[in-house]
């Protein structure tokens, strides 16, 4: 990948992560998680930002996970080369709602 292609990918991932901010509800845990999410984004720690969102959504009192949100998260995992069990756990949680 060229430097420009990497830069474009970085900008694309940053923009996609920014669109996920509304997934944090205004509860105490949502506000705290959003604070960390924003800190990680500002430090270009995209993997940690995505982990923060997934961990928040996996909490028992987190909002319902829509198929669209799950698709966005899954797509980001793929695009970023993240291979963990969070997407599978989110799918399980979404199936139980």
| Distance separating alpha carbons of residues 49 and 55, to the nearest angstrom | 10
Distance CA 25, CA 94 (A): 16
Q: Which domain holds residue 54?
A: 3-95
pLDDT along the chain (97 residues), means of 10: 94 97 93 97 97 95 90 97 95 84
CA-nearest of 77, 79, 89, 69 to 24 is: 69
Residue-wise pLDDT for 72-97, tens only, equals 999 999 999 999 999 999 999 988 76
Number of domains in the chain: 1
pLDDT score at 63: 80
| Of residues 45, 96, 94, the one with CA closest to residue 74 | 94
Q: Which two tokens stand for residue 35?
A: 């604070």
pTM higher than the cut 0.85: yes
């Amino acid at each position: 990948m060229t430097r420009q292609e990497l830069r474009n990918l970085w900008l694309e991932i940053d923009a996609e992560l920014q669109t996920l901010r509304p997934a944090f509800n205004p509860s105490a845990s949502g506000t705290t998680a959003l604070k960390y999410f924003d800190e990680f984004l500002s430090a270009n720690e995209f993997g940690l930002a995505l982990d923060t969102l997934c961990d928040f959504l996996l909490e028992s009192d987190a909002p319902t996970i829509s198929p669209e949100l799950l698709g966005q998260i899954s797509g980001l995992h793929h695009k970023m080369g993240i291979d963990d069990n969070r997407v599978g756990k989110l799918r399980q949680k979404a199936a139980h709602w």
